[in-house]
């Protein structure tokens, strides 16, 4: 069971998206979703102080795939997910995905990554 404040924050994100007509209808000019994501991250961090944030598609190879979250401000698009603690399996899945040439297999790799995040009781973010 998700603690109340975190569940409320997740519900706020869901309601925001639904009120705007769905994921594809949220305007990039409405920063409300980004602000709500930060509330979710803050609540997650308060519950799991050893949590890690991460990305799946690194555009800057100097940026780590995953990093222990220290409660610092999270910028739009900076991180795509948050998990309660470090997970080597997830890191390995993302590294494998990152080093695989484009093919139809990649969608299965993405599914494995998102399934692993879900197994870990992590949360993914949509930024605008």
Note the pLDDT tens digit of each residue in 62-121. 999 999 999 999 999 999 999 999 999 999 999 999 988 888 878 889 999 999 999 999
pTM for the full predicted model: 0.86
pLDDT given at position 59:
85
DSSP letter string, 50-118? T-EEE-SS-SSTTS-SEEE--S----TTS-SEEESS--HHHHHHHHHHHTSPSSTTHHHHHHHHHHHHH
Length of the chain: 128
DSSP state for residue 124 in the 8-state scheme: E
pLDDT given at position 80:
96
Residue ranges of the domains in the chain?
4-86
pLDDT given at position 100:
86
CB-based burial of residue 16 (10 Å sphere; 0-12 exposed, 13-18 middle, 19+ buried)? middle
Tokens 């999270």: give the residue: 74
Note the pLDDT tens digit of each residue in 36-59. 999 999 999 999 999 999 999 988
By the 8 A CB rule, do 43 and 69 touch? no
């Amino acid at each position: 069971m998700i603690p109340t404040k975190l569940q409320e924050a997740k519900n706020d994100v869901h309601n925001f998206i639904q009120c705007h007509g769905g994921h594809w209808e949220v305007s990039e000019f409405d920063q409300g979703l980004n602000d709500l994501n930060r509330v979710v991250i803050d609540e997650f961090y308060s519950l799991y102080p050893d949590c890690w944030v991460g990305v799946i598609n690194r555009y800057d190879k100097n940026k780590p795939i995953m990093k222990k979250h220290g409660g610092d401000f999270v910028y739009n698009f900076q991180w795509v997910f948050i998990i309660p603690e470090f997970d080597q399996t997830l890191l390995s899945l993302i590294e494998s995905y990152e080093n695989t040439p484009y093919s139809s297999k990649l969608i299965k790799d993405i599914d494995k990554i998102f399934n692993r995040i879900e197994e870990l009781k992590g949360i993914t973010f949509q930024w605008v």
